[in-house]
Structure 1
């Protein structure tokens, strides 16, 4: 039996609803949940003595359910004469105090302030079919009439799917007239009604009639359930949280029905309502669906969610293949929340992640939880701040592998993070006594232990220095310019190892320089200076002063400043860069970019300005490092010898093992356009 309207205008027609209820008969039509699912919220906001108006009652049993548990002062209205006659006859004997009246919610006969509560279960959604001018005018009339019949302090309780146009209307109309808004998500997932009319998430919007006061701050609250409520800062925040809840519900239904090979879906989980999700879940379906293990959950240790393996589609796909599951749900923990133990996290996740099982997963099967070790990880926030150039940032100490400690600079706007190695602080003893660890950790300023940083240091092997190849003087009397965007990691290592090297470090702004100083060991002196003029203007100004340097290092992860990849590749900028370099100088570039497109563009452009352009192979394919040499002389043998010297001076490691930087030069590719 088709009960759907032929077009949206029929929802406004009494004739449509008469026909609807004639076809439907006496079978209750429950919009968005039944009494057992709604009672926990309704009883919180409606007192048995309250006079209650049910608008657009239809033949729902909700009024009857409320009446039967003691709410006897209920008036029901609907525009359908048919349903009013049906419901009056049905309840005449068993519920004599309950009234059913044919009336339009936009224009009622009730007195001002007659009701303590107006209850709307799906009526707003039925009437507001779109946001056209005519429909919006009707909704304005409905809201105004509801406000008129409510007493001061009374509540309008609206059960709704909160589709986008409806959510926008509610979040605009009621704050403008000074009414507080509280939204609860209704728990309909565990309903015994298997023949639901709707599978979208259902919300109960609680709107309280207040007199608007001058300069009154909006009261906006969201509850993930009927007893957990949190204040939101703005309508944008509340909109974001509600949309995430809807998205989770929709995607949960979709991924139960099909495999997601070749695509990755992410879901946010708000177990405690917040402007930031408590968990982010990535559903990864392996290309090999023949694995014996069908479904598993991988919990990323706290503090490691920004690493390549867990933060990129490619990394998570590799993780899924290594784990050997047809579907792996990768779970990351948000830094805005605290977590007790790994077992507590598993317990909290269990009711939710089991809903994400793949198609044909055998119900009742045990789902394994995986992680790196048997602990939840460790994250200690040291500093939070805001850079005028790069946005909100966090400095945090994390434990990666057992015994390995990192300090990270993380940007909340999804810019690439950077890190430095920490080592145990040791207290020196007198005489022959061995030094003893203090229990604190300090920066290891000589450690070079990530792919791109090793490759950048290797680029300095092409620098000869004014004193030729005397190894004890190599790099000590050189001048190096570093265009930085983050923690000055390379500069700190170079200054610690070669304190006489003349280093100029260009930061994106003063906040980033201060963070580098306070937390990452950047310590300006006569040989190392910091500049915050902006790279483009600094390079242009310096090039006009006939100053020259041996090497320029450019970190092109600096994406939100004036020095984007596009600006860097401008002929005028590259011309100024080359003016600053000695005839045997080297330009070292590092960026996180698409290896097939951006890297090719970078190499092609540099080869038009420099004599030779090399690209070393590094394990982390998300980064590209390029060396552009001014001289066309073959200096590879000299560079290899310099690499061995650098490896001896620096603490160069890969996965904890010592590394000879000259190995990087063996995998060097000369770019030929």
Structure 2
């Protein structure tokens, strides 16, 4: 058997060492110069293994072989183009940004294959007209661009170019190792309007490679249409690296679940990238009556994340003042009929006199942001949504429903070493309840974390004590009476108190509604006098734990808070108080859960109730992140690491609910979190909020306490237990199981 001389091995290694960065033109020039002329080099599968599947695919084109326009980007010195030429496909254009290799290939083929073309060109910025090619054949080109240090930037530029120069009905054929980061980009970029299939390329038995080559084919179809992916990988075990293929099969399964959700009729909340990829058709064209909800800024390219609605006016015959406009709705007005209902939104479109209106809804994250900052943040995002071929310099006009805060009174500004700057303030929103009388104006007390762009961490409703309560207070001490008189000039603020039956955050309401999943267990505990162990990681202003205590009196609550100053502000300004039912532990939440799961810590809420340790347990993660670089606003990254998820599973070993308030700017980060949860927990449910970017996830390791088959009856049971009003029926309609 022939062997490779040691010198040749050393030379080959030296040549490969010259590359290093696969995106560098200089490195490729050096690589091809060292290899010399007159030789071909195949990074992936050789022609004998590619011949049958590739020729079958190309012969399926509508045009005869000699008329099929084929583009080979990043051609290098592969022999695949000459093989195709000799098989009858003459109209082949090869491009590469290395002048060295293009010059060599032109010398080799100009006479013997005169119809084949060679161009020095960067595949991420090609000088071809739109719709020039029937087939694009990529043999490792995308893989080379996806350097970890570079990220997806070059890969996305290349794929955008490939989609642009491909004809309608054309085929993009990608030969790839299908590494996770490459496959993820392909799956998302070809989600809308493309028919996608994947198969494995057989390896020679005597040359079985450690890396499997896959052929992914995308056929350009009608924009907006979503098709599930056709996979032939399950049939490839006899010649395929199944370890590598199984990872691809899992990724395809998850992607098909996503694609099926788009075709199920459910009003999916789209991302800006979804719209750009054609999820609702061609964005450059006005479609009368088109209305779609989506999220802006979810990829972390902006300061904030926004919920938005795109509306193309129904009356296209009118003369419009604006071709495209942006209408900003502050949080205080987001629930008004004019902005919250579809009918009301169309009224706004008519009055705005814009052919296309993008309605942007502000929430608690934007409360302290300067409006000029908001507009500057939004401007590049909405520019991508402007119809037609707009002038790049022409700004899109901004309209607004009015500033949400009418009056602001700062009570305290504090700085903690853990949380950073914080503000406690009382605010009155404009038209908060539709009543202009000063006696009916609602006052809200807010705790703001400035580290998260002015995040309103907690919001509480202030109410006035009844006259009877005020009389009782006056008789308690002369000093109290004297203090009251001193405060009269400031509006008698001591007559105001926190209404702990009010939930200022809609996601807190969703957490309560999601308890329907274990309603029978809660009902049984209440009837027997048992206490339900509930752990909440993250105190904030204490509004949610106080609501829980009053709303579900049979719950024993342990709150874990890392920052002592946050706990002090909760007590001083938000009426937070502890008793036998509600305790606070200052310290690290992960360590607290770890100690309980390991049996090292037994607390009031986790002591034996009525002689049984088998009652349902609840674990709630309600913590914001100080580090947004990972793409998570809530919770911090370490709360979704595998190690903590396994701790949470052990914590709930007897059954119960693990609840996470999830806020992510990145759809890929959100999918990663869901994927990790699925790997640890068998049962996973999601409740997506319409007015905010929050998503509440409910997971459980077993079905022991879950109401899987009769959720309607469970909702009724939960409502019977609640002491405070919660719109469970409305929330539970949004609950869906993530398979």
Flag whether TM exceeds 0.5 (same fold). no
Length-normalised TM-score, structure 1 = 0.43
- Which is greater in Rg? 1
| Larger relative helix fraction | 2
